[in-house]
Amino acid sequence: MEISIFGLGYVGCVSLGCLAKNGHRVIGVDVNQFKVDLINKGLPTIVEKDIDNIISEEFKRGKITATVFAEEAVLNSEVSILCVGTPSSPQGHLNLSYIYKTAEQIGEALAKKDSFHVVIIRSTVMPGTNKKIGEIIENSSGKKRGVAFSVVSNPEFLREGSAVKDYYNPAVTVIGGDHELALKKVASIYEELDAPIEITDIEVAEIIKYVNNSFHALKITFANEVGNICKALEIDSHHVMQIFCKDTHLNISPAYFKPGFAYGGSCLPKDLMGMVTLAHDHYLLSPVLNAIHDSNENQKRLAFEIIQRTGKKKIALMGLSFKEGTDDLRYSPSVDLAEKMIGKGYSLSIYDKNVHLSKLVGANKQFIDEHLPHLSDLITNDPMEAIESADIILINHKNFDGHKYKSALSQKSAVIDLVRIEDLENLPNYHGLCW
């Protein structure tokens, strides 16, 4: 395939070499003549393990050239990859002027081209950039997106120091677009890599790198705060985290990574508070650990705001324990939400198949007596009774049978889902908490 790469910085240079090594003929484009001259001498524009040998070898084979002229590159390629810098402002916004200018130049070149062209965004950009770039190309080319060209989002996940290795060994290749043939063409570029190719919506592809790197930053700061606490207690922090990482069922796994309602129960709130207290008692700052509780409280607030916006006061709460399959009400976010609704004058009906007042004992009974002393007046053993008595249905257990009650739910003012019951998502009155 004939490919042009715009931007010969870190991502562009690595992509240039690796794509050429995979058999493609690649044209590099940059406004910096010095970078272009380096490539045209068979030299890399960056210092990175193995890329110097790759650039040298592929240049000698005639697979690599570079130019400062965008039109030359576009007219001699079927795919253009944007690796242009998108630097961040002190406020966290991206400077997209370079990538927008590049899109304008590509559009001007496409005005002189008859064949279909695919533009791939590898640069890190905010959601909505793909759409904007398509509009810029349409305006500068006079041609229509989806007819003469397509714009595909294909974020890179390269780390400095291991970029070549990362290129050839990705965990997943993410491709987002709205044109089937363009998606197939982009996917074919990576077919030699031993990694799954995930075809997805454009906006998903645009935001995924931000999610990845934010989590990587969180992991580092979390480990550092654990380290600080362990050091104060004269505990080997590295040994602690080695054991932590051995748990691939919960710790290093997909477990808990599903957007939804707040956490609760007898363990997470108590043990988090214990860890924060350890830090405080040793005069240590632990801002990440401290923020976890506040963020969890915010999720409860968001749920209540959705309820408030309906303007209705009769609520059926489907699920009171902190999660399905248990009768544990201690620190249940549903109990907190129910308590708040009652305090604000809402009429509440509650169904939870595992919660039976006669069986509540010990700390569980003590907790509910303190927070919902009139639970006996609110709870029912018949889910349909709860649904029929309410205008708003609030679902907080994943085992709720959405298919069974779908007809009845469709007649209600709103169905507010805190856990994501997919059977209900096509209801016109459906509201997901954070999806």
Q: By C-alpha distance, which of 174, 215, 180, 213 is closest to 195?
A: 174
The pLDDT confidence band at residue 339, using thresholds 50, 70 and 90, is very high
Which pLDDT score, from 0 to 100, does residue 108 have?
Answer: 98
The pLDDT confidence band at residue 363, using thresholds 50, 70 and 90, is confident
Which pLDDT score, from 0 to 100, does residue 107 have?
Answer: 98
CA-to-CA distance for 148 and 258, rounded, in angstroms?
Answer: 39
Task: Tell me whether domains 2-200 and 295-432 share a fold.
Answer: yes
Reply yes or no on whether 434 is catalytic: no
Question: What is the per-residue pLDDT across 106-136, written as a single tens digit (0 to 9) for each?
Answer: 999 999 999 999 999 999 999 999 999 999 9
3-state class of 188 per DSSP? helix
The pLDDT confidence band at residue 56, using thresholds 50, 70 and 90, is very high
Which pLDDT score, from 0 to 100, does residue 91 have?
Answer: 77
Selecting among 13, 83, 230, 267, the annotated active-site residue is 267
| pTM, 2 dp | 0.88
More confident residue, 183 or 93: 183
Tell me which CATH homologous superfamily contains domain 295-432.
NAD(P)-binding Rossmann-like Domain (3.40.50.720)
Which pLDDT score, from 0 to 100, does residue 330 have?
Answer: 85
Q: By C-alpha distance, which of 6, 249, 24 is closest to 122?
A: 6
Contacts of residue 211, defined as CB under 8 A and 6 or more positions apart, other chains included, come to: none
Contacts of residue 97, defined as CB under 8 A and 6 or more positions apart, other chains included, come to: none
Over residues 187-213, mean pLDDT: 95
CB 151 within 8 Å of CB 119: yes
Which residues is 151 bridged to in the sheet?
A: 119
**How many residues does this entry show for the chain?**
435
Over residues 265-290, mean pLDDT: 94
Which pLDDT score, from 0 to 100, does residue 367 have?
Answer: 85
H-assigned helices in 158-232: 163-168, 180-189, 202-232
- DSSP letters for 114-166: -S-EEEEE-S---TTHHHHHHHHHHHHH---BTTTEEEEE------TTSHHHH
Which pLDDT score, from 0 to 100, does residue 266 have?
Answer: 83
Which pLDDT score, from 0 to 100, does residue 140 have?
Answer: 98
CB 394 within 8 Å of CB 372: no
Cα Rg, the chain, nearest whole Å: 28
Which residues is 403 bridged to in the sheet?
A: none
Which pLDDT score, from 0 to 100, does residue 93 have?
Answer: 83
Give CA torsion, residues 425, 428, 429, 434, to 10 deg. 40
Q: Domain residues of the chain, as ranges?
A: 2-200, 295-432
Which pLDDT score, from 0 to 100, does residue 73 have?
Answer: 98
The pLDDT confidence band at residue 357, using thresholds 50, 70 and 90, is confident
Q: What percent of the chain has pLDDT over 90?
A: 88
Which pLDDT score, from 0 to 100, does residue 360 have?
Answer: 80
| End-to-end Cα spacing for the chain | 39
Signed CA dihedral, 229, 232, 233, 236: sign only:
positive
CA-to-CA distance for 402 and 138, rounded, in angstroms?
Answer: 44
Question: What is the per-residue pLDDT across 405-435, written as a single tens digit (0 to 9) for each?
Answer: 999 999 999 999 999 999 999 999 999 999 9
Q: What are phi and psi of 341, to 5 degrees?
A: -65, -45
Contacts of residue 88, defined as CB under 8 A and 6 or more positions apart, other chains included, come to: 94, 95
Q: Is 92 left (phi over 0), alpha (psi -120 to 50) or beta?
A: left
The pLDDT confidence band at residue 361, using thresholds 50, 70 and 90, is confident
Q: By C-alpha distance, which of 104, 34, 118, 19 is closest to 70?
A: 104
Q: Please state, rounded to an integer, the average pLDDT across all residues of the chain.
A: 95
Question: What is the per-residue pLDDT across 16-53, written as a single tens digit (0 to 9) for each?
Answer: 999 999 999 999 999 999 999 999 999 999 999 999 99
Element (H, E) at 315: strand 314-318
pLDDT reading at 151 higher than 90: yes
pLDDT reading at 186 higher than 90: yes
Which pLDDT score, from 0 to 100, does residue 433 have?
Answer: 97
CB 110 within 8 Å of CB 136: no
CATH number of 2-200, picked from 3.40.50.1260, 3.40.190.10, 3.60.15.10, 3.40.50.720: 3.40.50.720
